[in-house]
Amino acid sequence: MTLLPRTLYGRLVVILVTGMLAAQVLTSSIWYDVRHSQVLEIPTRLIASRLADIVRVARSDPQHIELFLHNLSTPTFNLELRNAADMQRNPLPLQDQATESLLRSLVDEKTASRTALNLLNLTLLDSQGHKAGVDTLFGSSPAAGQFTLELRLADGRWLHVKATEDQGWTSMAPADVLLDYFLRIYLVRIIVVAIIVLLAVRLAVRPLNQLAQAAQALGQDIRRQPLSIKGPVEVQRAAQAFNLMQQRLLASMAERTRFLAAVSHDLRSPITRLRLRTEMLDDEALKQRFRNDLTDMEGLVSTTLEFVSSGEINEPRQNIDLNALLQSLQADLQDMGATITLNGRASRPVSGYARSLKRCIQNLLENAVRYACNVQVLVDEHRDGLSITVRDSGPGIAAQQLTQVLEPFYRLESSRNSRSGGYGLGLSIAHTVAVAHGGTLTLHNRPEGGLDALLTLKSQAPAITGQ
């Protein structure tokens, strides 16, 4: 299981915020060094002032320098003359190297000369004289610096110094220091960074979301407006590829339409010739058999071509008055002797393809009327769209065949009689049209007997007329 969010938006936010937090940790380490130098700045300046006085006295009165050092030496400012410098110096940390540079510059400035000075060791002490930790940097009592150093006097000898000097001032209260630190270093910056990251990532991901929405809408309206070429270079390339794909699909559909028209003409022409030649037969019984076969052949060709073309919508999307559509189909079927009852109404137009949607619902009604004279149509609106249920009181369908009947050329009966069982394409066409509208078609047996054909259509933005 991954800890990263599933969306690109969430992943980018996590990555950027994590990177900023890592940068903040690095900033905190820098702040620690700066804070360490700040705490030792005053003790360093005090030590440098004393050392400068010693250098000036050694230069002006070298005969009495030993006596002067003896009188000046204290437990907290221990002075010792040596003939040579310490040869076993350990490398100083970076933060102590900065203090060493400050010491040299202050002594050189006060003595107006360049003095050889080496910081051997530097320890930060708390108020109890113990080695201080991070907590001392946030303490309310003055800290102290323990310096071990050496400097060369005018006579060439080295003065070894071990001094302890207090901070000399009182820092803020611990709570104030912590609050200031976390507010300024972490909280405020994190909030600002999070806001900037959210806005930046949202702007960066927006073209990808538009591309995903366009790809989803392409299955419902292949003639939609092409994507605008904007955003990062990678997104522009994806949009260009998407638009090119859309153009190729439109060209392919146009070629397929021309092919279907040619096939329809080529198939109907010989059927028409055969029908004319059938009328020339003298045997009436044989003539009638030929007529029936040609009628079945013509119906099969028409239905097959209709099924093949049902997957491609060659009409513009528009707002459809579903109530008027259902009433029109009701009137047509009642004229043929069927009883159609409408329950429920659509409160708003449906965005879709008028001819295709009419054919879909017509196929469902005709299939229901084939097995039951009384058919109910239920219209139910919900938040995501609406559903149309075509309910009959027929024998229903075996459970294992509820999905198979949506496949092309599948018949419930074994006979090849088109008058009783059709060609097995009505429900397939209805299912294809439902998918083209972004909806679904499912069949359910009713416990009390009969079949429910449930057509679900998702809500779509109102179509713009005139497109």
What is the edge-to-edge ordering of all strands in the sheet holding 117-125? 77-82, 158-166, 144-152, 117-125
pLDDT tens readout for residues 256-285: 667 766 776 677 778 788 878 888 888 888
Is the domain of 345 the same as that of 449?
yes
Q: Is the pLDDT of residue 414 over 50?
A: no
Q: Is the pLDDT of residue 298 over 80?
A: no
CATH of the domain at 389: 3.30.565.10
**Cα–chain-centroid distance for residue 273?**
62
Q: What is the pLDDT of residue 409?
A: 64
Higher pLDDT, 417 or 344: 344
Hey, what amino acid is at 392?
D
Query: Considering the domain boundaries, does residue 111 fall inside one?
Result: yes
HSE, CB side, 13 Å, CA atoms: give it for residue 327.
8
Query: Considering the domain boundaries, does residue 194 fall inside one?
Result: no
Q: Per the confidence metrics, is the pTM higher than 0.75? A: no
**pLDDT category of residue 416 using cuts at 50, 70 and 90:** very low
List the single range of 136-145, 188-197, 352-361 with lowest mean pLDDT: 136-145
Q: Is 356 exposed, middle or buried (0-12, 13-18, 19+ CB in 10 A)?
A: buried
**pLDDT category of residue 3 using cuts at 50, 70 and 90:** low
DSSP assignment of 160-226, as one string? EEEEEEE--S----HHHHHHHHIIIIIIHHHHHHHHHHHHHHHHHHHHHHHHHHHHHHHTT-TTSPP
Please state the rounded mean pLDDT for residues 331-345.
Answer: 87
Is the domain of 427 the same as that of 341?
yes
Please state the rounded mean pLDDT for residues 346-359.
Answer: 86
Q: Is the pLDDT of residue 145 over 70?
A: yes
Query: Considering the domain boundaries, does residue 231 fall inside one?
Result: yes
Is the domain of 305 the same as that of 322?
no
The domain boundary, picked from 314, 334, 364, lies at: 314
Q: What is the pLDDT of residue 245?
A: 86
Q: Is the pLDDT of residue 144 over 70?
A: yes
Q: What is the pLDDT of residue 467?
A: 33
Is the domain of 337 the same as that of 400?
yes
Q: What is the pLDDT of residue 183?
A: 64
Is the domain of 448 the same as that of 347?
yes
Query: Considering the domain boundaries, does residue 102 fall inside one?
Result: yes
Query: Considering the domain boundaries, does residue 65 fall inside one?
Result: yes
Is the domain of 385 the same as that of 253?
no
Is the domain of 304 the same as that of 324?
no
**pLDDT category of residue 228 using cuts at 50, 70 and 90:** confident
**pLDDT category of residue 16 using cuts at 50, 70 and 90:** confident
- Count helices and strands in the chain by DSSP H and E runs: 13, 11
Query: Considering the domain boundaries, does residue 331 fall inside one?
Result: yes
Mean pLDDT of the chain: 78
Return the axis-axis angle of helices 65-72 and 41-60, rounded to nearest 10°.
Answer: 150
The domain boundary, picked from 171, 200, 227, lies at: 171
**pLDDT category of residue 26 using cuts at 50, 70 and 90:** low
Q: Rounded distance, CA 208 to CA 236, Å? A: 10
Taking residue 233's Cβ as centre, other Cβ atoms within 10 Å add up to 7
Is the domain of 371 the same as that of 284?
no
pLDDT tens readout for residues 417-458: 444 445 567 788 888 888 878 788 999 998 888 889 999 988
Is the domain of 419 the same as that of 407?
yes
**pLDDT category of residue 181 using cuts at 50, 70 and 90:** low
Is the domain of 447 the same as that of 327?
yes
Dihedral sign, Cα of residue 299, residue 303, residue 309, residue 310: positive
**Cα–chain-centroid distance for residue 464?**
30
Tell me which residue range forms the domain holding 97. Answer: 40-171
Q: What is the pLDDT of residue 157?
A: 92
Contact status, residue 372 vs residue 337, Cβ threshold 8 Å: no
Q: Is the pLDDT of residue 146 over 60?
A: yes
Structural domain tally of the chain?
3
Is the domain of 243 the same as that of 359?
no
Task: Give the helix ranges, DSSP H, for 219-283.
Answer: 233-278
The domain boundary, picked from 246, 280, 314, lies at: 314
Q: Rounded distance, CA 278 to CA 289, Å? A: 10
Is the domain of 325 the same as that of 435?
yes
Hey, what amino acid is at 152?
R
Greatest mean pLDDT among 17-31, 146-160, 232-246: 146-160
Query: Considering the domain boundaries, does residue 177 fall inside one?
Result: no
Query: Considering the domain boundaries, does residue 89 fall inside one?
Result: yes
CATH of the domain at 272: 1.10.287.130
**pLDDT category of residue 173 using cuts at 50, 70 and 90:** low
List C-alpha distances in Å: 96 to 118, 149, 161, 210: 11, 12, 16, 56
Q: Is 234 exposed, middle or buried (0-12, 13-18, 19+ CB in 10 A)?
A: exposed
